[in-house]
Amino acid sequence: MEKLNQLREQIDEVDNQILLLLQKRVAVCRAIGLLKKDHNMAVHDSFRENCVYENVKNQADELGLNSKEVATIFRQIVNMCIAVQS
């Protein structure tokens, strides 16, 4: 069972890294939101959003991940980032 605990610790570390990356993404999105506000731009950019989804789906395929599931996760992330820009 020691091996199981070690693997779970690895999962915990990966989860922490994911959260730190989410924090970084949100910070960048806040900065983008301020720039958009300064330039009277709309928060929502469907073209950019679609590019993000296409990029992550392609990368997911290359990594052997389920691209539909990854796109679903990124929809949540994008929605969170749109909210911080508003």
CA distances (Å), origin 83, targets 26, 40, 49, 67 = 10, 17, 14, 24
What are the residue boundaries of the structural domains of the chain, listed by start?
2-85
pLDDT on residue 53: 97
Q: Using CB atoms within 10 A of its CB, is residue 62 exposed (0-12), middle (13-18) or buried (19+)?
A: exposed
Digit-coded pLDDT (tens) for 72-84 = 999 999 999 999 9
pTM over 0.85: yes
Q: Say which amino acid occupies 51.
A: C
Q: How far apart are CA 78 and CA 71, in angstroms?
A: 10
Digit-coded pLDDT (tens) for 39-74 = 999 999 999 999 999 999 999 999 999 999 999 999
Digit-coded pLDDT (tens) for 11-25 = 999 999 999 999 999
Q: Which fold has domain 2-85?
A: Chorismate Mutase Domain, subunit A (1.20.59)
pLDDT on residue 86: 86
